[in-house]
């Protein structure tokens, strides 16, 4: 037990890393460490890193460089680097060699062995490296310290079997491993009992849930069961894959009252040749068919996506095919990325023959057009009454509250604190590209005046 010692965790990357951080947080508290708000107050600093693009890794490397001072400032401080970046063998060696002030280098799986790694480094005073991947899901029985008291990330499947040609994830997170149906249901029931209102089911590919389990279960049947859990008001799932996404899941979104009307369906590219080179396993026609199906079943649904531009060999015409789909589909939002070669992936062996300026031009064009489309879609909500789950006080303005619609749009509105975690109805006054502005009308079915319960 560590009494009086304090820890701080800095997390990079996706929601799976956020979720891993909550587990690590729980582990550290169970070791007797107390949370520190800033790294300056901490004796133990842990970075949970991302490897999906080079930019993410560069950010961590720059940060590690700056942490030399942090380490020297106080004797006995421990610095640990975990997550997807350090899971790669060559990266683990790079960190060990270039950042000698790092004490622990651990991977996505060895997170669960963190207490032993701490012990080892404290005893040996040497850098400990553990990036082994072991079969099976280790989350069960681990303490989890959730950041929010009303929204919870619940991983349902780890890893990915898809091996998209550009992606590092299957190499760092291993093969698909579903948690059992019972474990997930039990966790969500416990969350409902504790007052949690919203659950996001997580996985690199949630649509593959259950494929590796002996029972005949899948994402749709899981959501059907979770829809019955008392206390939970909203269910979300992230991320889908167009190869596995199907009518059953769409029916769950349309038919189950708690499943929110939002689908995140990464397109990646609009050209069939590029999709094939990416090993995505679907065509633009198949993708368009899914979009039609979603929109036929689910009224008012929001569809968001991920798009990569500048994949090796992408021609001007092929990029225009992506633009054409963006135009035709009209996504609510798109996360857009310039292709980034990842060592060890098949795409990294191809010649990255597109000049930087061309990539920049393409992404700029895509971002600009998508911004216009997103704003046009959001404007249709002006004047409408929408339900938001209140997340808290707005970061920019303390007299404003922030919430999310069922379609996952951020909304700001004037109101007093104390509504956090409550469902409220707001009238949309003005739509912006990235958020909505509104006024509170009721919460818990009661009329409100200027954000105060009458």
163 binding ligand SF4? (CB under 6 A): yes
β-pair partners for 447: 442
Element (H, E) at 378: helix 356-379
Shortest Cβ 333–ligand 5AD spacing (Å): 13
308 binding ligand 5AD? (CB under 6 A): yes
Nearer to ligand SF4, 205 or 394 (CB): 205
When CB distances are held under 5 to 8 angstroms depending on the partner's kind, the choice from ligand 5AD, ligand SF4, none that residue 53 binds is ligand 5AD
When CB distances are held under 5 to 8 angstroms depending on the partner's kind, the choice from ligand SF4, ligand 5AD, none that residue 153 binds is none
218 binding ligand SF4? (CB under 6 A): no
Query: Is 129 strand, coil or helix?
Result: strand
When CB distances are held under 5 to 8 angstroms depending on the partner's kind, the choice from ligand 5AD, ligand SF4, none that residue 407 binds is none
Residue closest to 39 by CA, chosen among 62, 20, 11, 3: 11
167 binding ligand 5AD? (CB under 6 A): yes
CB 389 within 8 A of CB 403: yes
Binders of ligand 5AD among 326-365, rule CB under 6 A? Answer: 337, 339-340, 342
β-pair partners for 104: 80, 128
Nearer to ligand SF4, 91 or 160 (CB): 160
Identify which range of 66-74, 162-170, 326-334, 372-380 contacts ligand SF4 by CB under 6 A.
162-170
β-pair partners for 249: none
Identify which range of 128-136, 160-168, 398-406, 407-415 contacts ligand SF4 by CB under 6 A.
160-168
Tokens of 94: 């790079």
Shortest Cβ 54–ligand 5AD spacing (Å): 8
Q: How far apart are the C-alpha atoms of 141 and 112, rounded to whole Å?
A: 11
Shortest Cβ 17–ligand 5AD spacing (Å): 12
Q: How far apart are the C-alpha atoms of 373 and 328, rounded to whole Å?
A: 10
Please pick, from the candidates 95, 118, 169, 347, the single residue that binds ligand SF4 as defined by CB under 6 A.
169
CB 39 within 8 A of CB 6: no
Max Cα–Cα distance, the chain, nearest Å:
65
Residue closest to 162 by CA, chosen among 202, 197, 122, 211: 211
Query: Is 438 strand, coil or helix?
Result: strand
Identify the residue whose tokens are 């209140």: 390
Residues 6+ apart with CB under 8 A from 29: 35, 143, 145
Nearer to ligand 5AD, 8 or 53 (CB): 53
Question: What is the per-residue binding string for ligand 5AD in 22-61, x denoting contact by CB under 6 A?
Answer: ------------------------------xx--------
Element (H, E) at 360: helix 356-379
340 binding ligand SF4? (CB under 6 A): no
Element (H, E) at 371: helix 356-379
Identify which range of 142-150, 158-166, 328-336, 435-443 contacts ligand SF4 by CB under 6 A.
158-166
Please pick, from the candidates 160, 298, 308, 431, the single residue that binds ligand SF4 as defined by CB under 6 A.
160
Q: Tally Cβ neighbours within 10 Å of residue 140.
A: 11
Question: What is the per-residue binding string for ligand 5AD in 227-256, x denoting contact by CB under 6 A?
Answer: ------------------------------
Shortest Cβ 194–ligand SF4 spacing (Å): 31
Element (H, E) at 449: strand 446-449
When CB distances are held under 5 to 8 angstroms depending on the partner's kind, the choice from ligand 5AD, ligand SF4, none that residue 388 binds is none
Kindly state the number of chain residues that form the binding site for ligand SF4, as judged by CB under 6 A. Answer: 10
Shortest Cβ 166–ligand SF4 spacing (Å): 7
Residues 6+ apart with CB under 8 A from 3: 32
> Rg for the chain (alpha carbons), in Å?
23
When CB distances are held under 5 to 8 angstroms depending on the partner's kind, the choice from ligand SF4, ligand 5AD, none that residue 339 binds is ligand 5AD
Tokens of 414: 């004037």
Q: How far apart are the C-alpha atoms of 25 and 11, rounded to whole Å?
A: 11
Element (H, E) at 104: strand 104-106
Please pick, from the candidates 21, 121, 127, 204, the single residue that binds ligand SF4 as defined by CB under 6 A.
204
268 binding ligand 5AD? (CB under 6 A): yes
Question: Where do contacts with ligand 5AD occur on this chain (CB under 6 A)?
Answer: 52-53, 166-167, 266, 268, 306, 308, 337, 339-340, 342
Question: Where do contacts with ligand SF4 occur on this chain (CB under 6 A)?
Answer: 160, 162-164, 167, 169-170, 204-205, 241
């Amino acid at each position: 037990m560590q009494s009086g010692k304090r820890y701080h965790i800095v997390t990079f990357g996706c929601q799976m890393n956020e979720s891993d951080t909550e587990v690590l947080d729980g582990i550290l508290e169970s070791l007797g460490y107390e949370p520190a708000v800033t790294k300056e107050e901490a004796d133990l600093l842990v970075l949970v890193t991302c490897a999906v693009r080079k930019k993410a890794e560069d950010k961590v490397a720059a940060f590690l460089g700056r942490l030399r001072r942090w380490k020297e400032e106080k004797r006995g401080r421990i610095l640990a680097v975990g997550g997807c970046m350090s899971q790669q063998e060559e990266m683990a060696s790079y960190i060990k060699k270039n950042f000698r002030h790092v004490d622990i280098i651990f991977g996505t799986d060895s997170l669960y062995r963190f207490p032993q790694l701490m012990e080892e480094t404290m005893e040996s005073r040497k850098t400990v490296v553990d990036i082994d991947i072991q079969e099976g899901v280790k989350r069960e029985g681990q303490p989890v310290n959730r950041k929010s008291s009303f929204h919870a990330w619940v991983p349902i499947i780890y890893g990915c079997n898809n091996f998209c040609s550009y992606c590092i994830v299957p190499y760092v997170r291993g093969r698909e491993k579903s948690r059992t149906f019972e474990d997930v249901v039990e966790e969500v029931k416990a969350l409902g009992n504790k007052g949690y209102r919203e659950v996001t089911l997580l996985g690199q590919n949630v649509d593959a849930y259950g494929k590796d389990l002996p029972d005949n279960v899948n994402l749709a049947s899981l959501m059907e069961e979770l829809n019955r859990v008392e206390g939970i008001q909203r269910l979300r799932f992230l991320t889908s894959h167009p190869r596995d996404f199907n009518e059953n899941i769409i029916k769950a979104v349309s038919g189950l009252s708690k499943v929110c009307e939002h689908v995140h369906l990464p397109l990646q590219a609009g050209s069939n040749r590029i999709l094939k080179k990416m090993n995505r396993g679907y065509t633009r026609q198949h993708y368009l068919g899914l979009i039609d199906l979603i929109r036929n079943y689910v009224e008012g649904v929001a569809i968001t996506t991920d798009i990569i531009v500048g994949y090796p060999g992408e021609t001007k015409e092929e990029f225009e095919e992506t633009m054409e789909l963006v135009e035709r589909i009209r996504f609510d939002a798109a996360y857009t990325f310039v292709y980034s070669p990842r060592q060890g992936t098949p795409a990294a062996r191809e010649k990255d023959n597109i000049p930087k300026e061309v990539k920049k031009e393409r992404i700029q064009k895509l971002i600009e057009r998508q911004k216009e489309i997103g704003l046009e879609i959001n404007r249709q909500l002006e004047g409408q009454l929408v339900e938001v789950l209140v997340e808290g006080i707005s970061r920019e303005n303390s007299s404003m509250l922030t919430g999310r619609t069922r379609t996952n749009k951020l909304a700001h509105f004037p109101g007093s604190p104390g509504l956090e975690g409550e469902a409220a109805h707001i009238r949309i006054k003005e739509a912006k590209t990235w958020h909505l502005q509104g006024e509170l009308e009721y919460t818990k079915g009661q009329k409100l005046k200027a954000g105060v319960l009458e």
